[in-house]
Chain A
C-alpha cells in the first residue's frame, strides 16, 4: 500500500469486501476440512491390548524383555513407566486399564523403556539387569508377596488412554547357588616355564540363564580350558581344566571364578614355581617293536611309540619316517615343547609275503632318534581268533513231498578268522529249545531222537565272502531229497528243521514247512538232465562234420515261479574245459563270484516266465548256430542267470535260478565217422520257397523250391515237428527238379506234415548217386 497516495473510499470498500470473502472462503474451507476429517478419521483413540501380558525375569541373572502394546492412531507414550507391586484393580485379560481405575505402589526401580517408533504398535524391548532384578525381588518381598510367586507390574502410561500392564514374574533360583569345586587347587611345584599336569574344577548350578552369559576368570599364570556353555542351562555341570605355567620361582596364588549375572563361584588356586633341573636328552620309546606275521590284505597291526622331550628347549622341525610296509600317524606336529611328549602310532600292513625290517626315525635338527621295526608279511590266512556264527538267512523254507528242495542259505559270521569249517548237516523233527534271534545255537539244537537224515557236506558247495581275509558270510545251496519231506509227512508232521554245523560247535538252523509247491518262492532247480534227441535221449552223439546237430533238450525240475533266463553256450575244441564251479548257476554263487566263471560261445539265449508247474524242457532257439564244421570234442553248457524273485523273498535280490549242483552238460563229437564213407563237408543248399514261417492257405499249392546242387542224384525233403519227430518226407529225383516248381506236395503229404500243431520245419538234403549226402540246407519253419 502506498501511503503517499491514500486510497479512495470506493477502493477501501472493495478491498474490504475482498478480504471478507477471503476470510469466509478460508473458513468454509476449514469447515469443509473439519467435516471431512470427522467423516474419515476413526473414533477417539484407545489402547487395545498388550502382548504378552507376562514376562519372566530370572532374579539371579536378569534378562531381556519384549512386549508390544496395540492401540489406535494418535496415541502417545507418556512418561509414566513404573514397576508397581500392585495397580489397585484387577488386570483384565488384555492388560489395559484406565487412569481412574487404580493407583501404583511403585518400586525403587524404574523401567527403561526404549520405545519403538510411534504407531499403532508400540514395541518395548530391553534388558533388566541382575541388579535391577534383585531390587525388584526385594520390593516384592517387601510388599509381602509369597515366595515362589513374586512379581512386579510394569505399568506403562499412554496419554489419556490408559495404562498397559505387563506382569513381570520374578523367577527365583530353586536350588542352591552355583558352586565351583573343589574350593582349593594346588598345582604344587612346577618348573618355571613348564606346564603342570592339569587339574579340573567343576561348576554346577541349578538355574537357567539365557542372558547374561557365563564368564570365567583365572590367574594369568594359569592356562584354562572349559567345556562350559556360554548360556547356562538348568542343572548345568561343566569343567574348567587348568594348568599352571609359572614364569618365575616362587609361590603363586589366585582365584578362579565363574560369574553368571550376580552370582559368582570361585576356587583358590596356588602353585609354586621352581627352577628348571639340568637339561636331559629326548627319548623315543620303545626302542624296537616286532609286529609279527600279518596276512596280505588283512587289517593292519598298530603299535604306539612315545617321543619325550625332557630337555629345557623345544624340539623344532620334527620329521618322522617309517620303512616300506609301515605307516605312521602322530600328534607331535613339527614342534615339541620342552618337557613335553607326543605319541606316534605305527601300523604294519605288508604288501607282499616277505620280511619287513627298518626304523621309525625321528629327526629334529641335529637330533635323530629311532626305534627298530620288524614284521612278516604272509599269504597264508592268519587265524587270529575264533569266528562266531550270528545269523542264517532265510530262516524259513517251504517244501513239498513231490520234489527235492533246493535253497541257497547264507550264514553270517563275525570275528577275525579267515577259515570256517563246515561240519555236519542234519535234519530233525524237534528242537531242544526255541531258537534265539538269528537262528544260531551253540551245540546241536536237535533232539537226538528226532534226527532222521543228514545232508552231505561237500567242500565245493560252500562259498565264502570275505572282507579282507576275514570271512563274513558262507553261502551254501542245500538240496533236500524229496524222501526227507516224504518221511516227515509219513510221520504226521508238517515242519522239520535243517541244522548246519560250523566248527567247533555252532549251528545255523532253518525251519522247513511242507506247504506244497508255492508260487512265491524264487525258482530253484531241483533236477536236470541234458540230452540229444537221437533215437532216444543220448548224452553223447557223434556227428559227421557238417551234419546238423540233433535236437538238444534240457529238462529241468524246479520249485517256485518266476523268470528263467539263460544262455546256451558251446565249449569248442581248444577252449579251456569248464570246471565244476563254472557250471554252477549264478544264483547259487555269492555276488562277488558271479562274474568269475568261464564263459563260452553263446549260440542262443532264452527267457521264459515259469509258473509253479514244476518242470520245463528247454530247447535252443536255433540249432544251426551250433558249430559242426571243425573236428573235435564239443560240450553244450546251459547257463542260468540269476533273476529277480517275486514275493516275500523279493528283498533277497537276484536269487531266482539257483541249483544245488553243477548243471550237467551234453557232449558231441565232430569227425568223419558218423556216416559211412564220405569225409567231405556238406555244401549248403539255399532254400527259396516258401519263405520263413510261411503260412500255407488251405487252398494254396504247397510248393517247395531250393537251389540245385551239382552231382545230386536225388533230394530228400524232410519235415519234422518242433521236437525233431519226422512228420513227412519226399524223395525228388534231381532230374525231375523243375526249378520253377520244386516239389509240389499232394494233399496227403500235407496232411501228414501238418498233423498236430501245424508248425513244422523243413530242410533239403542232396544225395549223390553213391547214396552220400553232399549238400544240405538249414532248417526253415513253415505252417499249415
Chain B
C-alpha cells in the first residue's frame, strides 16, 4: 500500500475510497482484504492497475471516524499492512473544510405520520360480563431534521423527534404514571446530535457512561458533549434525568438537583494510532434519584437517594487481539435522604473494584488435521464494600466473586468450563451470615457430522450438553441464629439437545433434569426435582409460508410432600404471505398444569388469527416520491383460562375481534 485519497480529507458517505498499491491490484485478488470499520468491503472493490477503489456504494460510507484496515495474506497468515483513519461527515458538511470557506446551510425536515382507526370488540366471561366496543385512533409521528453550516470548521445538526398518541387514554405513553392526566399524544423520544468541528454533542435520549462500577450506560434524557483535546486525550461530559422519561415536560432532562445524573470522563489513549490498545479513563459522577419520579420502564425507586463518586479504569488489548484486560475501581459516597418513608442514612464512602481479562492461550494447535485446538482463558474478580452504592451503576454491594473460565474448541467440539465462587458479608459482620455460592459448569457442543467425520446431511444433528453444579450455603452463623435456618442447597442440572437442520426446516429435541438437594438442617427432605423435555419444529413450507410447532413439558416433584406437578404446553403457529400483499398469521396454544393431589392446576388455551392487506397509493409531493399506505388488519382471538387452587375454581374466557385500518403517510 503506497497511497490513499483520504489522508487529510473528510469524506462524504457517497465518496470514493482509493487505495494505491505497489503492484498490480488485480494480482492481489484473494490476498488482500479491506475493512472499513468492522465491514469487509473487499468484494465491492474495483481493481484497476495498481489502484483499488471502493464506492460510491448504495450503502454509503459510514458517518463518523473509522479505521480503514488493509490486510495482506502472505500464504501463511494474514497481517495488517495499513491502518488508515477515515472521517466521514454528512453530505452537507463533508469536504467543506478543504474545498470551500463559504457558509452553507440546509434544512431538510422530514415528517412521517401514521394513524390507526379501528373497531374492536372484546368480550370477557368469568372476570366480567361486559362487552367493550372500542374505537381507537392512533397517531405516531417522527420528525427528522438535518442542518449544517461551515462555521468553525464545519458543523452538523441532526434532530429526530418521535411522538405517539391514541384516542384511548389507557394507551397513552404515560398512563401508568399519570392515569387520567396522561396526555393522549405525547413525546416519546427525541435526539438532537451533531458535531462542531471535532466536538460532538447530543441532546435528548442519549447514551453515556462507560464505567461499570460508577456510571454505566445511562440512557436517560439529557445532554452530552465529547471533545478530543488531543490525539491522546478526550473528554466527555454528560448530564441526564434521574430516570427514563417521556413527555414534553422535563424536556431537557435535567430539571432539579434531586433527580439527575451529572458526570464527566477523561480518557487517555496511550497508543492513539491503535485506539483501544491501552486506554485510561477517569470518571466522576454526581447523582440523585427522587422516590417520587418513577421511570417509564422501571419499577419505582423506593427511596430518595444521592451518590457522588470517582472512578478509574484501564482497558487494554494485545496487538494480535488474543488478549484483553479491563480493570475498574470506584469510590462512591451514598446516602438515603429521609422522606417520611425511608430514613436518612449516613453518607458513607465505600469502594468497589473489578478485574476482567481473557487471553487466547492456544491458537490452532494442531493434533491432526481434524483436531486443532484453540483455547481462551477468562478471569474475573469483583469486589464491593458493604454499603457501596453508585446510582449510576446497578452494582450490588457487600460481596466478592471470582470467576474462571476456559473456552476451548477441539476440532468441531466447543468445550466450556466455568467456575465461580461468591460470598457476601465481606467484612464478616458477626451478626450476619456469610452466604456463599459456588457454581461450576461444563458445556459441550458440536455437530455430529463434523465430530464423526461424516458427510453433512439434514439427518445428522448438532449436539449440545451442559452439566451444572451449584452449592449455596451459609457459614459464620451468628451464635443466636437457629441452625435450622442456615441455608444449604446443592443443585445439580444436566441439559442436552439435538438440533437437526435442513434447507427449509429445523427440528430440535431438548431435555434436562434439575435436582435441588436441600441439605439444610431439619429440611433435608425438602428437595425439588424438575425434569423438562422439549421438541420444536420450524418448517418453511414454501417461500411464503412458515410453520412452527413446539412442546416443552416439564415435571416438578417435591420430595417432602410427594407433590408432583406436570405441565404441558403445546403450541403451533403458521404465517403465510398470500398473493396481493395479504398476510395470514394463525397461532394456537394450550397450556395445562396439574399436580398429583389435584389441588392446583391451570388450563389455558387459545387461538389467534389475523389477516392483513396492504395497499399502496403512489403519490408525489414535497421533495420526491412519497406514498400513502393503507393496512387493513382483521383479527380474532379467543382465550380460555381455568385455574384450580384448592377449592377455588376460576374460569375466564375472552374473545377479541376487530378490524383496524392503518394509514401511513410520509410527508416531505
Contacts and interface: CB of A to CB of B under 8 A. Distances in A.
Interface residues of A, number: 143
A573 interface: yes
Nearest to B111: A673
Contacts of B10: none
Nearest to B631: A631
Interface stretch (B259-267, B275-283, B642-650): B642-650
Given A483-B345, A484-B343, A595 B217 contact: no
B411 A698 contact: yes
A752 interface: yes
The main secondary structure of chain B at its interface with chain A is strand
Interface string B312-323: 000000000100
B148 interface: no
B205 A516 contact: no
Interface string B331-370: 0000010001111111000000000000000001000011
Contacts of B18: none
A515 B336 contact: no
Contacts of A758: 407, 409, 414
A514 B499 contact: no
A536 B219 contact: yes
Q: Which of B171, B506, B565 has the most CB of A within 10 A?
A: B171
Interface in A660-709: 661-667, 669, 671-674, 676-677, 679-681, 684, 686, 688, 691-695, 697-699
Interface string B458-476: 0000100000001011100
Interface stretch (A94-102, A385-393, A400-408): A400-408
A672 B114 contact: yes
A667 to B, nearest CB: 7
B387 A401 contact: yes
A489 B430 CA distance: 12
A632 B38 contact: no
Contact of A612 (B435, B577, B648): B435
B96 interface: no
A452 B658 CA distance: 54
B15 interface: no
Interface stretch (B19-27, B86-94, B393-401): B393-401
Given A647-B489, A758-B409, A611 B414 contact: no
Contact of A539 (B71, B246, B439, B577): B246
Interface in A472-515: 479-484, 486-487, 489-490, 494, 514-515
A598 interface: yes
B40 interface: yes
Contact of B571 (A486, A602, A726): A602
Contact of B516 (A402, A646, A743, A767): A646
B398 A402 contact: yes
Contacts of B543: 684, 686
A666 B59 CA distance: 31
B101 interface: no
Contacts of B228: none
Nearest to A492: B431
Nearest to B141: A673
Interface stretch (A63-71, A274-282, A453-461): A453-461
B295 interface: yes
A699 B372 CA distance: 9
Contact of B432 (A490, A515, A531, A539): A515
Contacts of B569: 605
Contact of B652 (A595, A631, A632, A671): A595
Interface stretch (B229-237, B248-256, B296-304): B296-304
Given A540-B296, A630-B612, A666-B297, A595 B642 contact: yes
B58 interface: yes
A609 B493 contact: yes
Interface in A727-784: 727-733, 736, 743, 745-749, 751-752, 755, 757-758, 767-771, 783-784
B547 interface: no
Contact of B394 (A557, A745, A748): A557
Contact of B501 (A580, A677, A692): A692
Nearest to B358: A756
B293 interface: no
Interface in B375-416: 386-387, 389, 394, 396-399, 401, 407, 409, 411-412, 414
Interface in B99-132: 110, 112-114, 116, 118, 120, 122, 126-127, 132
A633 B164 contact: yes
Contact of A698 (B38, B409, B577): B409
Interface residues of B, number: 188
Q: Which of B41, B43, B532, B645 has the most CB of A within 10 A?
A: B43
Given A574-B118, A672-B114, A595 B71 contact: no
Nearest to A583: B176
B66 interface: no
Contact of A697 (B411, B552, B654): B411
Contact of B447 (A487, A593, A695): A695
Contacts of A784: 409
A576 B122 contact: yes
B633 A746 contact: no
Contacts of B122: 576
B664 interface: yes
Interface string B144-184: 10000000000000000010101010110101100000000
Interface string A168-197: 000000000000000000000000000000
A555 interface: yes
B58 A769 contact: yes
A376 interface: no
A713 B59 CA distance: 10
Interface string A537-573: 1111010010000000001010001110000000011
Given A483-B303, A730-B39, A611 B437 contact: yes
B142 A487 contact: no
Contact of A536 (B110, B116, B166, B205): B205
A752 B38 contact: yes
A12 B652 CA distance: 123
B341 A595 contact: no
Contacts of B608: 601
B296 A573 contact: no
A672 B664 contact: yes
Interface in A608-642: 609, 611-615, 627, 629-633
A481 B336 contact: yes
A536 B217 contact: yes
Contacts of A342: none
A347 B21 CA distance: 104
B393 to A, nearest CB: 12
B462 A528 contact: no
A527 interface: yes
B205 A486 contact: no
Contacts of A733: 43-44
B116 A519 contact: no
Contacts of B614: 681
A486 B387 contact: yes
Contacts of A82: none
A746 B305 contact: no
Contacts of A729: 38-40
Contact of B520 (A490, A573, A648, A681): A648
A516 B532 contact: no
B112 A693 contact: no
B343 A483 contact: yes
Contact of B298 (A528, A577, A757): A528
A574 B462 CA distance: 41
A77 interface: no
Given A530-B297, A731-B39, A746-B78, 8 more contacts: A454-B340, A514-B431, A540-B246, A611-B470, A631-B662, A644-B565, A672-B629, A698-B411
13 contacts: A480-B302, A484-B343, A519-B489, A594-B602, A609-B514, A630-B660, A650-B558, A691-B501, A698-B411, A716-B59, A731-B40, A731-B43, A758-B407
Closest 3 CB pairs of A and B: A536-B207, A673-B112, A595-B643
